[in-house]
Amino acid sequence: MSVNWSKFKETRVKRFFLSLLTLAVLAGCNTMAGLGRDTQAAGQKLENAAKR
């Protein structure tokens, strides 16, 4: 029984890059959510200052 090492390595590389892509997407979503909260907080402060 022989193992096709070329195919095995190719599969590992694909899984590695898919994992990296998944992490990048998740980190990007988290970063954008934080940016949205920061922008919302800044707008709220500006609105409160304008009401005074």
Average of per-residue pLDDT across 1-25: 87
Q: What is the DSSP string of 1-52?
A: ----HHHHHHHHHHHHHHHHHHHHHHHHHHHHHHHHHHHHHHHHHHHHHHH-
Question: In whole angstroms, how far apart are CA 31 and each of 21, 23, 25, 45?
Answer: 15, 12, 10, 21
pLDDT of 3: 73
Q: What is the pLDDT of residues 20-43, one digit of tens each?
A: 999 888 888 778 788 888 899 999
